[in-house]
Chains A and B, each alone.
Chain A
């Protein structure tokens, strides 16, 4: 997870022009870092490319909007990184 976090934090820092030191595993992408939906698509693009996966952003957004899942589940970075690890593992299984 730590190397995943380093990669994701680097992507967020570069994509959204956020100082790297402000980005921690506990950061909420929306509430703490102020990342909007358009910027998150940029991040998803970079994450998809870096890890060779497809983040199911539309599904996550729908679940959050319908109240079926808390936003933290997907948009707190340590949770996001765990899901990325899961997608990478599923891909190589």
Chain B
């Protein structure tokens, strides 16, 4: 993870297009300016960044399924629960599954765990829109960097 650059996913470990499910891994950095403020002397990953991590895993899942034909933008966060703290150097497992594929939107359920221990979960929704200029190429490079092989969409 590079918290300051919003690169929350290190690697996709499973992408199951049939099950519409993705599993990813991320290691929280030992040091980050984020921890200087959250909180001084007691570094914890902010809940908003855990939400972003779940959103990115969901977003990559959607991109994998739609073959990077539309960009998912986070629209709604429902039922977010933060069950325990996340400290620096933690190994996160992020899971996301599509619950509804709508027209112009997609809904997912996502969760994060550490060695099987639940950390947080939420139900997320994304607006699907045409890619803004150049973003498709950037996302294509990013999906390749984290090991995601999108579905070929005709």
Contacting B at CB under 8 A, from A49-80, are: 49, 54-59, 61
Residues from chain A with a CB closer than 8 A to the CB of B104 are 41, 44, 57-58, 61
B102 sits at the interface (CB 8 A): yes
Contacting A at CB under 8 A, from B117-146, are: 125, 127
A38 sits at the interface (CB 8 A): yes
Q: What count of chain A residues pass the 8 Å CB interface test?
A: 14
- Determine the residue in chain B with the shortest Cβ distance to A40: B104
> In the bound complex, do residue B102 and residue A55 qualify as a contact, i.e. CB atoms below 8 Å apart?
yes
A36 to B36, CA, bound (A): 40
> In the bound complex, do residue B103 and residue A45 qualify as a contact, i.e. CB atoms below 8 Å apart?
no
> In the bound complex, do residue A48 and residue B127 qualify as a contact, i.e. CB atoms below 8 Å apart?
no
B123 to chain A, nearest CB (A): 11
- Determine the residue in chain A with the shortest Cβ distance to B76: A42
- Determine the residue in chain B with the shortest Cβ distance to A56: B103
The bracket for how many chain B residues form the interface is 10 to 19
B52 to chain A, nearest CB (A): 20
- Determine the residue in chain A with the shortest Cβ distance to B127: A41
B75 sits at the interface (CB 8 A): yes
B77 to chain A, nearest CB (A): 13
Quick one: CB contact mask for B76-111 with A, threshold 8 Å, 1 for yes? 100000000000000000000000111111010000
Contacting B at CB under 8 A, from A72-91, are: none
- Determine the residue in chain A with the shortest Cβ distance to B125: A45
Residues from chain B with a CB closer than 8 A to the CB of A55 are 102-103
Using CB atoms and an 8 Å cutoff, list the residues of chain B in contact with chain A: 75-76, 100-105, 107, 125, 127
- Beyond the given A38-B75, A44-B104, A55-B102, please list 11 additional residue pairs across the A-B interface where CB-CB is below 8 A: A41-B75, A44-B102, A44-B103, A44-B105, A45-B102, A45-B105, A49-B100, A54-B101, A54-B103, A55-B103, A57-B103
